[in-house]
Amino acid sequence: MLPAVFAEDELAQRLVAGLDAPVDFTRWLGGWVGAETDGSEPEDRLRAAVAAAAYLHRLRGTRRGLTESVRLAFGVEPEISESGAADWSARPLGPVPGERRPRLHVTLRLPDPAPADEQRLDSLVAAARPAHMPYTVKATASEKNPEQ
């Protein structure tokens, strides 16, 4: 699918073959673009994290960015509670929304959580949260459906 001028070029062919993204190249590319990976994720999640890296950099420090980072790493939507809020007023010196003390808590419900999952969650939240925000994390077992 290259233009004809590159069809006979050996260097161009080797470069394009590398862009077919074998796993080792995908890991290298992930480090280069700043994807939040740790080397333990399955190949499909690794590729999704690398593909989303630039998008997630634009969302860093937002609830949406944090949610996407955790979802890409674990394949599960996190539960996020935070102290902040936003509001507007036509009058100056109105009440400030949210809580006085900043806080962020992220809960991740997994079928079979391991201590490494909580460590991974902690590193993801530390990287994707607002820089000034103190945080806590918890990886816990997902609730089983009683009908199963």
Query: Do both 80 and 42 map to the same domain?
Result: no
Query: Do both 77 and 119 map to the same domain?
Result: yes
Query: What pLDDT sits at residue 18?
Result: 67
Query: What pLDDT sits at residue 145?
Result: 56
Task: Count the alpha carbons within 13 Å of 44 in the hemisphere toward its beta carbon.
Answer: 3
CATH number at residue 117: 3.30.300
Query: Do both 24 and 37 map to the same domain?
Result: yes
The answer to the question of residue 1 being in a domain is no
Query: Do both 122 and 52 map to the same domain?
Result: no
The answer to the question of residue 2 being in a domain is no
Query: Do both 102 and 52 map to the same domain?
Result: no
The answer to the question of residue 5 being in a domain is no
Query: Do both 82 and 129 map to the same domain?
Result: yes
Query: What pLDDT sits at residue 107?
Result: 97
Q: What is the DSSP string of 36-98?
A: ---S-S-HHHHHHHHHHHHHHHHHTTSHHHHHHHHHHHHSSPPEEEES------SSTT-PPPS
Q: What is the mean pLDDT of each run of 10 residues along the chain (148 residues)?
A: 79 78 88 89 91 92 93 94 84 84 95 93 93 94 68
**Residue 119 belongs to domain spanning:** 60-143
Query: Do both 68 and 106 map to the same domain?
Result: yes
Nearest Cα residue to 111 out of 142, 86, 135? 142
Query: Do both 44 and 64 map to the same domain?
Result: no
Query: Do both 68 and 103 map to the same domain?
Result: yes
Q: How far apart are CA 47 and CA 41, in angstroms?
A: 10
Count: domains in the chain: 2
Query: What pLDDT sits at residue 109?
Result: 96
Q: What is the pTM of this model?
A: 0.73
Query: Do both 69 and 116 map to the same domain?
Result: yes
Query: What pLDDT sits at residue 147?
Result: 54
The answer to the question of residue 3 being in a domain is no
